[in-house]
Amino acid sequence: MADYQRLLNEFQKYDIGLIMASVEDKATCEALLARHGGDIPFAYGVDAEAMSTALGCYYDDSDKYMEATGFLLQPDGKLYLGAYSTGAVGRIRADNALSVVRYYQTEDASVLPEQG
């Protein structure tokens, strides 16, 4: 969340909308946003099992939680990119998301991150 918050002005500059979602309740999400100073719209109370079924993201049945799942949507709402994690590795970093969207807005490959 912090990396997206840090780059929020850049996302807005390129007319890129952001929304985050959590399985936590409203009070927990509001406390998190207050503690970390978040301005990104936040959906709360997401049903982890239902989201997993609908989106195909990783769901731990024994502990009843879902790992972070990120999506980049095209302006028409169609899926462009999805990242399904089974842990902290493999999430869409904010700087990479911004670079990819800027590339598709400009078709300028120089905005893409280096591939290593």
pLDDT (tens digit, 9 = 90+) per residue, 89-107?
Answer: 778 889 989 988 888 888 7
- The strand ranges marked E within the chain are 20-21, 42-43, 59-60, 65-66, 69-73, 79-84
Domains in the chain (CATH in brackets) are 2-106 (3.40.30.10)
- For the stretch 11-49, pLDDT in tens is 999 888 899 888 899 999 999 888 888 888 989 999 989
Q: pLDDT digits over 48-89, tens only?
A: 899 889 888 888 888 878 888 888 888 888 888 888 887 767
In the beta sheet, which residues pair with residue 69? Answer: 84
